[in-house]
Structure 1
Amino acid sequence: MKRVLVPVDFSRDSMNALNAAISVANKIESDIRFIHVRKNKDYDEPFVIEGKEQDYGQTVEEFCGQIVREYRKKLKKGNMDYVIRHGKIYKGIIEQARHDRSGLIMMGTHGVSGFEEFWLGSNAYRVVSKAPCPVITVRHGFKRKKFGKILLPIDFKRDTRQKIPFTTELARLLNAEVHVVDFRSTDRTDIKIRLKKYADQAYDYVTGHGVKAVRSSKKGGDIPETIISYAVHEDIDLISIVTFERGTPANMALSTNAQLMVNHSPIPILSIHPSTRK
């Protein structure tokens, strides 16, 4: 994984995501490029990092340069640079990731409710559902500097199992433990048998690649809520999910669940689009 791309808008949340990306990059020995997308290339204004009094510069370029000089010191082996794009935020991020052939995007998200959730869905979720590579979203307030436990939820849909290879490889690079858990909302025997088979196969794949794993099974009426509850209880650092573009009725339901996870999980979400794993 040669490069991690980090969208930065100079808010606390985006700078927190940059710190999290540095922690990951130090483990997997990759470079970091952060991207700032400006809506209007003809207008500039002074910037300060949210929560700090220090003014790092009078232009976006000066500001980004100062951030690179400050944060690059935290990287053990990789390099850090930045790029500035203009236009729609989600398009700029996706186009840059495609141009760089980024291995991973890490981005901060804000807490949402009501209309804000619709707004987040039209921006951040467009990135995680259309990006050419996996995306880790870091919710506001998450301050851990390690990713030692990764939750790999399993259901009976074929596409959702496409997250297993990348999650396993990331866990290996991070030296993380993977919790392979099948989640269900029913006690139907046929579903339980099928889920057990799929989860056991996932467990065998993970451990077969030299990654430590834990196997479990959980039932709950609301699957996203049950997944988050398990993650909080088990002190999970990262939850792996599959995201889908809205289109077919089946994908619409799946994308809604994924969007709920991205919007509301207090724990970082690793989103993998099936098309990026082919």
Structure 2
Amino acid sequence: MKDIILIGIDFSDTSNNALQYGVGLAKKMSADILLVWVDTTPADEDAETQHEKRLEAKHKLKALAADVEARNTGVNVRCKLRKGMVHRELAFVAKEVDARLMVIGTDGISGVEEFRIENNTFRIIAQSPCPVISVRQNYKVTDKIETLMLPIDEMKNTTDKLPLAIQLAKDIEAGIRLLNIYHPKIESLRNQTNTHSTKAAKILEKENVISDVDVPIHTADPKEVVEAAVNSAVDMLVIMTNPVMSRADIPEGILAQKVIHFSPIPILSVQAKPI
């Protein structure tokens, strides 16, 4: 049975770019594609208007699916319409079909709103039962996905993203490069980063997916993390996120959110899976 890549569609330029990226992944992974459109119209809108919107969306989805299949031999595309809140419905469908990955588009946010934990992109990522790749609207999609970058810091669960990253790298024939994030002042925390990095490098070498030397930075500032990835010319940044369940989780969620919105390159967000 083939893996399924779920792609959220709203017919905007942003989601169309995510679709193009998802198609490239599907070809590399020999996976099927499921396009999902969510009807977010208010329940009090008249029935005829709702029906017309759903009918129009259904026709557009079918046209998109037919176009993708016509342009990409061997790629199978299905469509599904849902009604409700986008993040909940995408998560429901992803769980229902046991999606391997979800691909969504994001515009990035500037100003005050970039720090809001409630934004839709991060809600989708936090609710999703599968890893999510977020792609910026202005990202130039190509067939090149050669290097993934994994940030490694002093946190004890920092290597939990390795299993999924390794499997994806093997599936798309890519390498993995480590980004070592050192605490700027506390030596004991710097040593912990070194310990985790050494462990990760050994695993990557054993799995034959290690790519080039490690990149060190001395700050966890999201902009610096993104800048290091961009300067290293990697094709994807892999970060770990957790649903916000309590006040203690909020700092980690906000940092992940900032990385997602600052990054011009695709971000793969995964939830912890210990190795």
TM-score normalised by L of structure 2: 0.89
* Structure-2 change in CA distance of 1:115 and 1:227 (3 Å): closer
Shift of 1:81: 1.1
How far the C-alpha of 1:217 sits from its partner, in A, is: 4.0
Cα gap change, 1:12/1:98 in structure 2, threshold over 3 Å: closer, same or farther? same
Q: Which residue of 2 is the match for residue 54 of structure 1?
A: none
- In structure 2, runs of 5+ residues without a counterpart are none
Distance 1:221 1:192, change over 3 A: closer
Counterparts of 2:11 and 2:107 in 1: how far apart (Å)? Answer: 13
* Secondary structure of 2:130's aligned partner: coil
Match for residue 262 of structure 1 among 257, 260, 263: 260
Partner in structure 1 of residue 3 of structure 2: 2
Percent identity between matched residues is 25
Give the alignment of 1:1-278 within 5 angstroms. 2-40=3-41, 42=47, 43-44=50-51, 59-114=56-111, 116-117=113-114, 121-145=118-142, 146-274=144-272
SS in 1 for 2:120: helix
Which shifted more, 64-73 or 92-101?
A: 64-73
The whole-number CA distance in structure 2 between the counterparts of 1:106 and 1:232 is 20
Conservation of the 8 A alpha-carbon contact between 2:105 and 2:134: yes
> Is residue 117–residue 257 contact of structure 2 (8 Å, CA) maintained in 1?
no
Give the drift of 1:96.
0.4
Q: Which runs of 5+ in 1 are unaligned?
A: 48-57
Q: Are the counterparts in 2 of residues 160 and 241 from structure 1 also a CA contact under 8 Å?
A: no
Q: Which moved more, 1:38-47 or 1:214-223?
A: 38-47
What RMSD, in angstroms, separates the aligned Cα atoms of the two structures? 2.2
Question: Do 1:203 and 1:213's aligned partners in 2 also have CA atoms closer than 8 Å?
Answer: no
Q: CA deviation at 1:187?
A: 4.2
Say whether the 8 Å CA contact 1:176–1:212 is kept in structure 2.
no
The residue type paired with residue 131 of structure 1 is S
Equivalent residues of 2:26, 2:33 under 8 A apart: yes
TM-score, scaled to structure 1: 0.88
1:219, distance to aligned residue in structure 2 (A): 2.5
Cα distance in 2 between the residues matched to 1:74 and 1:258: 35
The 3 A distance-change label for structure 1 pair 184 and 78 is: same
Q: CA deviation at 1:76?
A: 3.8
1:45 deviates by 5.1
Contact 1:17 1:138 in 2 (8 A): yes
Q: Quick check: 1:203–1:215 contact (8 Å CA) kept in 2?
A: no
Separation of aligned partners in 2, 1:223 and 1:132:
27
Q: Is the CA contact (8 Å cut-off) linking 1:156 and 1:194 kept in structure 2?
A: yes
Contact kept? 2:179, 2:217, Cα under 8 Å:
no
Instruction: Quickly say closer, same or farther: Cα 1:114–1:207, change in 2 above 3 A.
Output: same
- Which residue type is aligned with residue 239 of structure 2? I
